[in-house]
Amino acid sequence: MPSKARSVLRLWALALAASAALAASGERWPEPLVVQPALVWCLVLLPPALVALWLLSQWRNGGEGESLH
């Protein structure tokens, strides 16, 4: 297995483990949390915005005719 695929698989497994841990801790939480709309919107919109900024920072203009096909 190439190293790139191995690192993606490792990252995916880590995300799955973190998700399982959060789900398990949520089931054992003593009382419901108060929904704060501003916090929810930040949690929903901030990660995609950060990924978009990272992609834009990595984007290179003036390609030499390279294609994905």
Residue 13 lies in a domain: yes
The C-alpha atoms of residue 68 and residue 28 are separated, in whole angstroms, by 48
Q: What is the CA radius of gyration of the chain?
A: 19
User: What is the arithmetic mean of pLDDT over 40-67?
Assistant: 82
- Which residues, 6 or more positions from 9, have their beta carbon under 8 angstroms from its beta carbon? 1
Which range of residues forms the domain containing residue 13?
A: 1-30
Residue 61 lies in a domain: no
Count of the separate structural domains present in the chain: 1
pLDDT value for 4: 84
Residue 59 lies in a domain: no
State the residue for tokens 């690192």: 7
Residue 67 lies in a domain: no
* pTM score over 0.95: no
Q: Token pair of 66, please?
A: 């390279």
Tell me the per-residue pLDDT of 6-45, one tens digit each, with 9 for 90 and over.
Answer: 999 999 999 999 999 999 988 888 888 889 999 999 999 9
